[in-house]
Structure 1
Amino acid sequence: MSLEQEQRTLDRRQRELTDLQKKLAREQSKLTAAETKANAAQTAAAKARTESTRSSKLRLYQSALRDKERAQKEIASLQGKIAVKQKEVNTATAKVGRERQRIENAAAKKRKQDALQLNRAMGSMNRTIEDHATRLETLENMPEKVTVLYLGTSPEDEVRLRIEAEARDIHEAIRKSDNPQCVAFNDRWAVRQSDLLQVLNETNPDIVHFSGHGAADGSIVLEDQFGNSVLLDKERLSVVVGAAAKHVRLIVFNACYSDEEADKILRHVDATIGMTNSISDAAAKAFAAQLYSSIGFGLDLQTAFNQARAAIALASPEEFDTPRLRVREGVEAETMVFVG
């Protein structure tokens, strides 16, 4: 039964007990009155001077004794009933107590569960707030327009590369993205070592993209004044980047073996993308076009890189694992977004 039902049963038992106790009190009063009456009649009979008076008092005495006997029997009966009723009251009281305790325990358990749920909800809310704050900070620090500096070289004394086709594909991919107006694409051709500081100062880029040949030691191939190849190692390149990279966050080396010694460049920028092996024209073009298309759609760098690798898987499956993304310690590619 419910607590309400148990309480009604207890209340009824207590009322019944109270009624029996009142009846017992009345019968005890009757017993006292009968005893007083019998004693008075007995005394009067002993003092009577006439036989008729004595007989009258004795009859009164006998009547009082009968009243006393009836009262005693009723008292004994009521005392038995009261004892039974008291047990019923005790049992009902215990049931009410157990039901109240059960309800209190259930309520305490519910409060504990609610507190745990609230703590979990607050924890989730705090994490959401922190995530939103991180995203908001990223958005606040995000430039209104991201500038890409494309540096293309294909010296006369090297195998000819179709870097013009790669640049054209990147242009088209950006144009078809969600935010083409937010990506400024600047291309420079036949780049010499002496040109680097000049073009970096002119464009003040967020992303620098090298496209051309790369040497096995990680050096990139530029051109001299006669159009022939000249190597620029990562040590010297890091000095140039460190001197001019005011806003550069990402450098893409779309050249063979360009992942070598990338840690030297990571001293100055947040992330680099390089090639761990030789890479074909087809794979390089597919990778670059998809990378900037994804950036133009507002995707984070990790997702953009993954999609660019997927484009290689379609164009040249055996070169899928050639690109490698590196980020500086403390930087997460998943939070690097160039276009909002």
Structure 2
Amino acid sequence: MTAASKAAQTAQDRLSREERTEESRRKRHEERAQRASDRDRRELDDRLSRAESAIENTIRAVQQPKPEKLRVLWLGASSLGDLRVGRELKIIRKMVQSAQHRESVEIDSRTAATIDDLLDGLTEFRPHVVHFSGHSDDDLIEFERDEDVIHEGTVVSAEAFANAVSSVDDPPSLVLLNSCNSAAQAELLVDGVVPFAIGMTDEVFDADAIAYAGRFYGTVANGQSIAAAHRVAKSKLEMDEDLSGDELPQLFVADGFDAESTRLVEPPDA
């Protein structure tokens, strides 16, 4: 090999080494750039994940309101002044105030209740329970008129009353008719109007109606189920008033609902 050939070969070898070195540097640079890109992407994904979690937690906090108080719309009507509806309300309040979860119950009481009181209470107060104390029979219920003297009340059919209760966007869960011969109306109410209803199978004396109502709401405010509150209140009548069988109030339950597991008042920490 001539000197010129050797020089050319040496130059070619040097160029090849430089090219390989440059290629190696280029690959290392690309690898570093790729690692940096991967790191940046992981950091971005991590930030996005934390942001999404924060948003989900915020949405969850907004969508989960604090537990509501039990709202009871109490309606008392005695146009002839022959029923002690005021005494009943007093005993109900007393029993609730003595209960463990008294702060979880709110009562909107409307004495001398008219049909407008019923409708206003349903739309403004949005009650979970509608309680009526007054006169009734199998298919009629009597409200007062807006008058200042003893008078004949406004008689409303059971169907009209049921239609009123079901007319609002959020009907109550329970209707308690603490009035004579109201069991038939209560049974009608659980046929597509409310999940639970309580009525009296016979005539009911003031003392019995008062005792049942007070004990029922006191038990509800202690966190017991609807069924348990009904049993406890009936026991009060059985022991104190010696009532039994058809003399006792009846609880009606719509298909698909369970009074044994339904509590109207949940403990604050439940």
> TM-score scaled to structure 1, two decimals?
0.55
User: What is aligned with 2:217?
Assistant: 292
Whole-angstrom distance in 2 between the partners of 1:142 and 1:230: 39
Give the gaps of 5 or more residues in structure 1. Answer: 1-139
1:282, 1:315 within 8 Å by CA — same for their partners in 2? no
| Counterpart secondary structure, 2:251 | strand
Most deviating of 319-328 and 144-153: 319-328
User: What is aligned with 1:322?
Assistant: 248
- Is residue 195 from structure 1 mapped to residue 120 from structure 2 by the alignment? no
Q: Deviations along 1:34-70, whole A, 9 cap, x unmatched? A: xxxxxxxxxxxxxxxxxxxxxxxxxxxxxxxxxxxxx
1:166, 1:289 within 8 Å by CA — same for their partners in 2? yes
**Pick from 182, 191, 201: which aligns with 1:276?**
201
**Pick from 245, 251, 254: which aligns with 2:175?**
251
- Is residue 214 from structure 1 mapped to residue 136 from structure 2 by the alignment? yes
**Once the 2 structures are TM-superposed, how far is the Cα of residue 247 of structure 1 from its aligned partner?**
4.5
2:197, 2:253 within 8 Å by CA — same for their partners in 1? yes
**Backbone CA RMSD of aligned residues:** 1.9
Higher RCO (CA 8 Å, separation ≥ 6 residues): 2
Q: Aligned in 2, Cα 1:335/1:202: closer, same or farther, shift over 3 Å? A: same
Whole-angstrom distance in 2 between the partners of 1:335 and 1:265: 20
Q: Aligned in 2, Cα 1:142/1:218: closer, same or farther, shift over 3 Å? A: farther
**Once the 2 structures are TM-superposed, how far is the Cα of residue 306 of structure 1 from its aligned partner?**
0.1
Q: How many residues align?
A: 198
Q: Which runs of 4+ in 1 moved over 2 A?
A: 140-144, 224-228, 261-264, 318-322
Query: Percent of aligned pairs with the same residue?
Result: 29
Give the gaps of 5 or more residues in structure 2. Answer: 1-63
Whole-angstrom distance in 1 between the partners of 2:233 and 2:154: 29
User: What is aligned with 1:146?
Assistant: 70
User: What is aligned with 1:230?
Assistant: 154
User: What is aligned with 1:176?
Assistant: 98
The structure richer in strand per residue is 2
What letter corresponds to residue 182 of structure 1 in structure 2?
Answer: S
User: What is aligned with 1:9?
Assistant: none
**Pick from 60, 74, 83: which aligns with 1:161?**
83
The structure richer in helix per residue is 1
**Pick from 258, 262, 266: which aligns with 1:332?**
258
> TM-score scaled to structure 2, two decimals?
0.69
Whole-angstrom distance in 1 between the partners of 2:169 and 2:73: 12
Whole-angstrom distance in 2 between the partners of 1:319 and 1:167: 24
